Copies of this chain bind each other. A is one copy, B any other.
Amino acid sequence: MINTRWGLAQKSSRPSWRTALLFSLSVVVSGCAAVKPAEADKPALYVYSTIDALLSGAYDGELTVKQLVSKGDFGLGTYNRLDGEMLVLGGVPYHFKADGSVTVAKPDDRIPLAYVLPFKPTHRFTLAGSPAAMSLTDIEAAIDARLPNKNLFYAVDVTGQFTGITTRAIAAQVRPYRPLAELVKTQVLFPRASATGTMVGIRSPAFSKGVSVPGWHWHFISDDRSYGGHVLAIGLVNAVANITPSHKVELDLPGNEDFANSDQTRDRSAELHQVEKQQK
């Protein structure tokens, strides 16, 4: 009952034939164990601004890091002036800059766009690539196979051993701001052969297009907190994943002129794909 409500399929502890078919013999996917499916745990995804505002060049928000982490201890976003990438894990707001540095953001740093929630996972499972690592597409498909309800939001952490990672960050901008699809050509790539660490992902339903990134959006941070950013490519060797479903969203729109004047009437799907997925 609770399980149905969350839209998470109860699965046996052995791979189903469908899963086996999907991932062939190259990937071992264990079952999906319910961790804490209490009815009361219904974390709201807090969303500040919209992806379409960011795509149009609204790179300055009023929200502070302190305010953001009061809304959730887990998530992702960016910083004012489009200064690199944000990842929030265990309540700590990390800041990946285009110079490759990883720092903890200050409480009064400001944010143009972010997605966070109180991470209260209801399901946990292991993922493993053998003999070849699971690609990002494989990882997303393996998690999607456990989410029959694609019309909710999900936050997922995937912690373990990874290979063939490419992250990116974009340098802080100066006004007048250009649209994000232009700036992404200047993104700095950070390839790494292997790392242990955590992927922080938000999955948004198709109807939230315009507000969020439909499908998966991943940032990464290494265990030693020295490496990370927006994930463009990654290989999973073995890892544990935790899923937090959310069927509540709290959307908070900036009150500034940039947001008011941003053109959010265009279909920016193509720009979004270019910005989120492509390595230049």
Residues of chain A at the chain B interface (Cβ within 8 Å)? 4-7, 44, 50, 52-53, 148-152, 205-211, 247-255, 257, 259-260, 262, 264-265
Contact = CB atoms under 8 A, between A and B. Distances in A.
Nearest to A147: B260
B151 A259 contact: yes
Nearest to A214: B265
Given A248-B253, A249-B249, A255-B5, A260 B206 contact: no
Contacts of A152: 253, 260
Nearest to A149: B260
A174 to B, nearest CB: 23
26 contacts: A4-B257, A5-B255, A6-B255, A7-B255, A53-B151, A53-B207, A148-B260, A149-B259, A150-B265, A151-B260, A151-B262, A152-B253, A205-B264, A206-B265, A207-B210, A207-B211, A207-B264, A208-B211, A209-B209, A209-B210, A210-B210, A247-B252, A247-B254, A248-B252, A249-B250, A249-B253
A208 B53 CA distance: 12
Contacts of A250: 44, 248-251
A169 B88 CA distance: 47
A259 B5 CA distance: 10
A251 B253 contact: no
A254 B210 CA distance: 21
Nearest to A259: B151
A151 to B, nearest CB: 6
Contacts of A251: 248-251
Q: Which 7 A-B pairs have the closest CB atoms?
A: A207-B210, A149-B260, A247-B253, A249-B251, A5-B255, A206-B265, A207-B264
A91 B206 CA distance: 33
A3 to B, nearest CB: 11
Scoring A249, A251, A262 by chain B CB atoms within 10 A of each residue's CB, the highest score goes to: A251
A44 B250 CA distance: 9
Contacts of A205: 264
A53 B149 CA distance: 13
Nearest to A207: B210
